[in-house]
Amino acid sequence: MKPIHRQICENIALAVRDRGGCAYYVGGCVRDELMGRSSLDTDVEIHGIAPGELGEILSSIAPSREVGKSFGIYTLGGDGSGIDVALPRREVSTGEGHRDYEIEIDPWAGPAESARRRDFTVNAMMKDVLSGEVLDFFGGREDLSLRRLRHVDAASFVSDPLRVFRAAQFCARFGFTLDDETVSLCRDMSVAALSAERVREELFKALEGSVSPSVFFDVLVCCGHLREWFGEVESLRGVPQDPLYHPEGDVYTHTMMVLNAAADLKHRSSDPVSFMLSALCHDLGKADTTSESNGRIHAYSHEDSGVRFAGALLERLRCSSSQKRYVLNMVKLHMKPAAEASAASKLKKTNRMFYDSVCPEDLVLLAEADYRGCGGTLTYFPHGAFLRDRLARFRQIMAEPPISGRELIENGAEPGEAFGEYLDYALKLKLAGEDRASQLRQTLAYIRKRKFER
């Protein structure tokens, strides 16, 4: 916790104590501190103070903004200080999913009852802001030591189906194992009516914050809830692969191994979340294209088919247009780096591949993750040196200004409908590695030829 956060929280706690109340750190910041992890957010819960009185206290200490009067939550600092102050409350579901619910504020509920409404025991611990005493009513500390994720209260837990996905991302991020009884509760919950934004948020937390994001999906499989939101991934389970190239097993197993390899590489990518989504989606087309002939298993053109399946998944999760563009492009091209490197392809072919990519550097990273996801023991990427050398040459070539329409006109070309064709031809010469003078000379010759043909 930042020192400035701690000081603000202590000032709040002192003012609350003077009025007969008490302030506690709650939720993730307590859990993270006990785990020896830093926490970006600080959540404080105030007991024994009426809502109107709390607003007066906070406004006297730091700029604050109330997030809906019915919620009893205040955000402190207009500078993104990351401190949320709340009154004890209960969420009563009035509809399906995590969409419709009523909030009941009860400042005098008491710490134990307030902690009972939380999802997991490791998140239900509270720490007195002033004394530092940790209140642990439900065995959260023991569960932390056992790396066990366990629900607090069965009756309240099942009221919020988003907790299925929260369980999955907590297990992925922190290496927890989901308690058997909690698994049983999750299996009986309906998650179909959840909002796409909330499911996406939990997925992104797992993809961004975990060294083994595959756990997120494995937990959903265990809870019987992979199909509702990730049906394309579910369809990979049991899809066979050629054991010569994929000794690890079916396509789902391979995808999870690629996802974990990508997590090890994502810090080098231009867009870590989109990169991880690409690793998740790269082989979705195999569910539609896998076949067997002459004793060998094939998935011809699965990268093309995969674009359609990846698009459906990203649309369901309401991913951004930039994420869709990135991921679909990566899925389309993910086979090319290894193929071109294996064939020691000519410069123009690797240049065209890089030119067609939204991010050539990330495409090479995805190819490495894909390779490392075959067998589980592969850490050396044999195509890396070739691809990095060709990528450096591509960047050098593309740094040179392209042949422009103005240059063509200055050298006698007439503007018209075919001008785009001429510029495309100049680009092909550029990608083939021709120097600039050669590009201009050959393009002008091509224009003269085409004019004569017409």
Query: DSSP of 95-164, one letter per residue?
Result: SSTTS-EEEEE-TTS-HHHHHHTSSBGGGS-EEETTT-PEE-SS-HHHHHHHTEE-BS-HHHHTT-THHH
What average pLDDT does this structure show over 211-225? 98
CA 28, CA 32: separation in Å to the nearest integer? 6
Say if residues 422 and 401 touch (Cβ distance below 8 Å). no
Give the pLDDT confidence of 353-375 residue by residue, as tens digits.
999 999 999 999 999 999 999 87
The pLDDT of residue 450: 85
Give the pLDDT confidence of 55-86 residue by residue, as tens digits.
899 988 887 777 755 567 888 865 555 789 99
CA 47, CA 421: separation in Å to the nearest integer? 72
What percent of the chain clears pLDDT 70, i.e. is strictly above it? 94
Q: pLDDT category, 255, cuts 50, 70, 90?
A: very high
The pLDDT of residue 94: 58
Can you say how many angstroms the Cα of residue 270 is from the centroid of all Cα atoms in its chain? 13
| Between 90 and 331, the higher pLDDT residue | 331
DSSP lists the bridge partners of residue 24 as 45, 128
Q: Indicate whether 154 pLDDT > 70.
A: yes
The pLDDT of residue 14: 97
What average pLDDT does this structure show over 414-428? 92
Residue 101 is which amino acid? Y
- Per 3-state DSSP, the chain is made up of helix, strand and coil in percentages (nearest 5) of 55, 10, 35
Strands 42-47 and 83-86: parallel
Mean pLDDT of the chain: 92
Burial class (CB in 10 A: 0-12, 13-18, 19+), 145: exposed
Residues across the chain: 454
Q: pLDDT category, 319, cuts 50, 70, 90?
A: very high
What average pLDDT does this structure show over 122-129? 98
What average pLDDT does this structure show over 113-133? 96
For the entire predicted model, the pTM comes to 0.92
What average pLDDT does this structure show over 101-127? 91
What average pLDDT does this structure show over 234-242? 96
Q: Indicate whether 408 pLDDT > 60.
A: yes
Q: pLDDT category, 89, cuts 50, 70, 90?
A: confident
What average pLDDT does this structure show over 292-307? 94
What average pLDDT does this structure show over 284-292? 96
Q: Indicate whether 217 pLDDT > 80.
A: yes
Dmax (CA) of the chain: 94
Give the pLDDT confidence of 1-41 residue by residue, as tens digits.
778 889 999 999 999 999 999 999 999 999 999 999 988 78
Strands 22-26 and 42-47: antiparallel
CA 280, CA 258: separation in Å to the nearest integer? 8
